[in-house]
């Protein structure tokens, strides 16, 4: 599989039944025929139901589906605009569910239909005692409802980490998605009075295939357990980016489906030619956690253990991997440039006795168990050091987590930077301050291939410029391991 995360089987979890009527702008005094693509609940605003109470568009103040952690979470803020009926009939109690539904404006992509276990409810009551609950503001938080995920239990599973994670997904009614076909770490994996979520962390943390692989896992909003070999997804191709940049500047749509709908090749950009697409970046900002991560975990983690079979102590050093060719072309996040003092910033961890030997039939762990835990942790931390948070103008159901997607950022209004970054000096008049005389330039630092490490779907009724705007946007966390130097080399 390698470069693509694919579903091996679909989830079987049964969701609460939801019956809804298409929402029409006609009820708001607007002729629905004028906006035929926006007639439906779930498109213009999310469908949210709690205990048979469905919130209206005028009641929803904020709505987020946060897919940046292991399990998707929801945050909802509503105001009881005209009545306190929700407080009397549908106020959540222990074990209650909030059901949500969001979809695109056509049927090209699978909609989002989730049930969330409500974990927190807070209420800000109105100051008007005669309102009888009307005007109250209620905040609801929840985790994707996966039966049995947090139940503590005792069991064991024999097999590789890949096989165990696949079996867990099937047992829990989850789908299973991966870019792997198996791992090289067969052992008896034991869950001793722990939750299945913690057991999944244990299995993935010690997963091993080879020295050029490292693993993570998460549950997506389509109820798939994703078991991912991250290193196989990290690539960068300068020639591809150049072609995409030229096509973007010319206004190309990168092909067209038989339906006649323009379908962009997946590429985030801030170029105005793509303003109407759901890959258009409204704004972006870098997030730098590198120094804090290096302070806490070092640049290398030395795992020390005693081999009971060989009667000797081992010390194995885990460091982050480097993409082939990047050492000479990219900036590695290993301290300041031309300063090798980072080599002194190492951590040491004694983990105990390993009862394992390749010739021992009943070994308690696989041969690389302790090293794999350090290797996976250090490489996943490297992907957290410097990220890019981008906000796109529409939510995009065509993007999935840990997908490798190119991003091309242009400098279009800063004349000084445009001159500095221009590839064609002959076209640049150094004395001119007129933007029309200076060609736009590619920002080489932020342009590149990224993994979509996390995403958040956001609805807010504020800031809608016209009735056509859905009000549903998306924020993504983009990650890459190596970065271009500021000089563009």
Rounded CA gap, 476 and 395, in Å?
10
pLDDT score recorded for residue 25: 37
CA triple 145-149-152, angle to 5 deg: 140
Domain end: 338, 367, 382, which one? Answer: 382
481 or 126, which is more confident: 481
CB-based contact 301:317 (threshold 8 Å): yes
Alpha-helix residue ranges (DSSP H) falling in 286-385? 290-297, 326-329, 369-382
16 or 246, which is more confident: 16
CA dist 302 → 67, 103, 299, 314 (Å): 32, 47, 10, 10
Rounded CA gap, 402 and 18, in Å?
31
Strands 137-144 and 112-124: antiparallel
- Same domain assignment for residues 283 and 398: yes
pLDDT in tens, 52-75: 999 988 899 999 999 999 999 999
Q: Is 60 exceeded by the pLDDT of residue 283?
A: yes
The residue written with tokens 């867990």 in the block is 168
Rounded CA gap, 470 and 458, in Å?
11
249 or 83, which is more confident: 83
pLDDT score recorded for residue 326: 75
User: Could you tell me what percent of the chain has a pLDDT over 70?
Assistant: 78
Rg (CA), the chain: 26
CA dist 366 → 54, 136, 178, 184, 412 (Å): 51, 56, 22, 9, 54
What CATH number is attached to the domain comprising 125? 2.40.10
Closest alpha carbon to 220 in 178, 184, 185? 178
- Same domain assignment for residues 189 and 310: no
- Same domain assignment for residues 393 and 476: yes
CB-based contact 419:428 (threshold 8 Å): yes
Q: Is 70 exceeded by the pLDDT of residue 146?
A: yes
CA dist 32 → 21, 45, 459, 482 (Å): 15, 15, 21, 49
* 13 within a domain of the structure (yes/no): no
* 62 within a domain of the structure (yes/no): yes
Q: Is 90 exceeded by the pLDDT of residue 298?
A: yes
482 or 20, which is more confident: 482
pLDDT score recorded for residue 255: 37
Residue environment code for 249-261, b if the CB has 16+ CB neighbours within 10 A, otherwise e: beebeeeeeeeee
- Same domain assignment for residues 196 and 102: no
What does pTM read for this prediction? 0.87
- Same domain assignment for residues 452 and 376: no
pLDDT score recorded for residue 20: 62
Q: Tell me the average pLDDT of the chain.
A: 83
- Same domain assignment for residues 249 and 391: yes
What CATH number is attached to the domain comprising 161? 3.55.50
pLDDT in tens, 316-369: 999 999 888 777 778 888 888 777 888 888 999 998 888 765 555 666 789 899
pLDDT score recorded for residue 311: 83
pLDDT in tens, 406-427: 999 988 776 676 666 665 555 5
Split at pLDDT 50, 70, 90, the class of 198 is very high
Rounded CA gap, 276 and 274, in Å?
5
pLDDT score recorded for residue 354: 81
Rounded CA gap, 9 and 430, in Å?
59
pLDDT score recorded for residue 105: 72
pLDDT in tens, 229-239: 999 999 876 66
* 9 within a domain of the structure (yes/no): no
65 or 278, which is more confident: 65
* 418 within a domain of the structure (yes/no): no
* 4 within a domain of the structure (yes/no): no
Q: Is 50 exceeded by the pLDDT of residue 91?
A: yes
- Same domain assignment for residues 397 and 465: yes
Rounded CA gap, 391 and 473, in Å?
8
Region of residue 465 (phi > 0: left; psi between -120 and 50: alpha; otherwise: beta): alpha
* 438 within a domain of the structure (yes/no): no
- Same domain assignment for residues 394 and 269: yes
* 19 within a domain of the structure (yes/no): no
**Residue 346 sits in which domain range?**
290-382
Residue 217 pairs in a beta bridge with 227
- Same domain assignment for residues 376 and 311: yes
Q: Which residues contact 243 (CB under 8 A, 6 or more apart)?
A: none
- Same domain assignment for residues 269 and 244: yes
Closest alpha carbon to 384 in 467, 458, 245, 478? 478
Rounded CA gap, 376 and 153, in Å?
26
Rounded CA gap, 413 and 438, in Å?
9
- Same domain assignment for residues 282 and 390: yes
Strands of the sheet with 300-307, listed across from one edge: 312-318, 300-307, 346-354
Domain end: 216, 232, 248, which one? Answer: 232
Residue environment code for 169-204, b if the CB has 16+ CB neighbours within 10 A, otherwise e: bbebebbbbbbbeebebbbebebeebebbebbebbb
- Looking at the structure of the chain, the number of domains it has is 4
pLDDT score recorded for residue 276: 83
Strands 300-307 and 346-354: parallel
Q: Both tokens of residue 32?
A: 């629905």
Displacement of CA 200 from its chain's centroid (Å): 18
Domain end: 114, 144, 174, which one? Answer: 144
pLDDT score recorded for residue 257: 36
- Same domain assignment for residues 322 and 176: no
pLDDT in tens, 10-39: 999 999 887 765 544 334 444 444 444 334
pLDDT score recorded for residue 247: 62
Closest alpha carbon to 146 in 220, 228, 201, 202? 220
* 88 within a domain of the structure (yes/no): yes
Rounded CA gap, 111 and 101, in Å?
7
Query: How big is the chain, counted in residues?
Result: 489
Displacement of CA 277 from its chain's centroid (Å): 20
pLDDT score recorded for residue 465: 43
- Max mean pLDDT range (169-183, 307-321, 421-435): 169-183
The residue written with tokens 């004028």 in the block is 34
Q: Both tokens of residue 236?
A: 């960068």
pLDDT score recorded for residue 292: 94
């Amino acid at each position: 599989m390698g470069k693509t995360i694919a579903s091996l089987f679909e989830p079987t979890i049964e969701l609460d039944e939801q019956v809804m009527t298409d929402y029409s702008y006609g009820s708001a005094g607007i002729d629905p025929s004028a906006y035929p693509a926006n007639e439906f609940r779930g498109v213009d605003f999310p469908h949210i139901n709690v205990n048979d109470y469905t919130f209206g568009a005028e009641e929803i103040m904020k709505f987020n589906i946060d897919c940046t952690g292991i399990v998707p979470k929801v945050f909802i803020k509503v105001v009881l605009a005209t009545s306190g009926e929700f407080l009397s009939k549908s106020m959540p109690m222990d074990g209650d569910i909030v059901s949500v539904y969001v979809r695109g404006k056509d049927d090209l992509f699978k909609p989002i239909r989730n049930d969330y276990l409500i974990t927190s409810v807070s209420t800000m009551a109105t100051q008007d005692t005669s309102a009888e609950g009307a005007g109250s503001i209620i905040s609801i938080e929840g985790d994707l409802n996966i039966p049995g995920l947090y139940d503590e239990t005792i069991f064991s599973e024999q097999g590789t980490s890949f096989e165990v994670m696949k079996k867990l997904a099937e047992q829990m009614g989850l789908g299973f998605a991966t870019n792997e076909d198996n791992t090289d770490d067969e052992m008896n994996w034991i869950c001793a009075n722990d939750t299945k979520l913690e057991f999944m962390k244990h299995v993935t943390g010690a997963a091993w295939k080879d020295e050029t692989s490292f693993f993570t896992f998460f549950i997506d909003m389509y109820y798939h357990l994703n078991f991912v070999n991250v290193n196989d997804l990290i690539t960068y191709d300068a020639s591809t980016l150049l072609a995409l940049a030229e096509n973007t500047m010319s206004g190309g749509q990168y092909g067209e489906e038989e339906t006649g709908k323009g379908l962009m090749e997946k590429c985030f950009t801030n170029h105005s030619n793509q303003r109407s697409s759901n890959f258009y970046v409204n704004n972006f900002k870098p997030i730098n956690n590198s120094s804090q991560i290096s302070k806490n975990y070092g640049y290398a983690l030395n795992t020390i253990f005693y081999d009971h079979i060989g009667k000797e102590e081992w010390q194995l050093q885990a460091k982050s991997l480097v993409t082939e060719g990047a050492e000479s072309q990219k900036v590695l996040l290993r301290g300041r440039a031309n300063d090798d003092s980072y080599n002194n910033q190492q951590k040491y961890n004694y983990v105990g006795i390993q009862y394992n030997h390749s010739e021992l039939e009943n070994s308690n762990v696989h041969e690389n168990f302790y090293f794999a835990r350090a290797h996976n942790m250090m490489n996943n931390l490297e992907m957290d050091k410097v990220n890019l948070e981008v906000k796109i103008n529409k939510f995009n159901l065509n993007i999935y987590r840990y997908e490798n997607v190119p991003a091309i950022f242009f400098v279009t209004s800063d004349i000084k930077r445009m001159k500095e970054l221009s590839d064609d000096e002959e076209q640049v008049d150094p004395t001119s301050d007129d933007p029309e005389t200076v060609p736009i330039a590619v920002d080489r630092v932020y342009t590149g291939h990224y993994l979509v490490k996390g995403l958040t779907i956001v609805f807010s009724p504020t800031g809608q410029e016209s009735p056509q705007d859905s009000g549903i946007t998306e924020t993504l966390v983009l990650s890459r391991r190596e970065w271009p130097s500021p000089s563009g080399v």
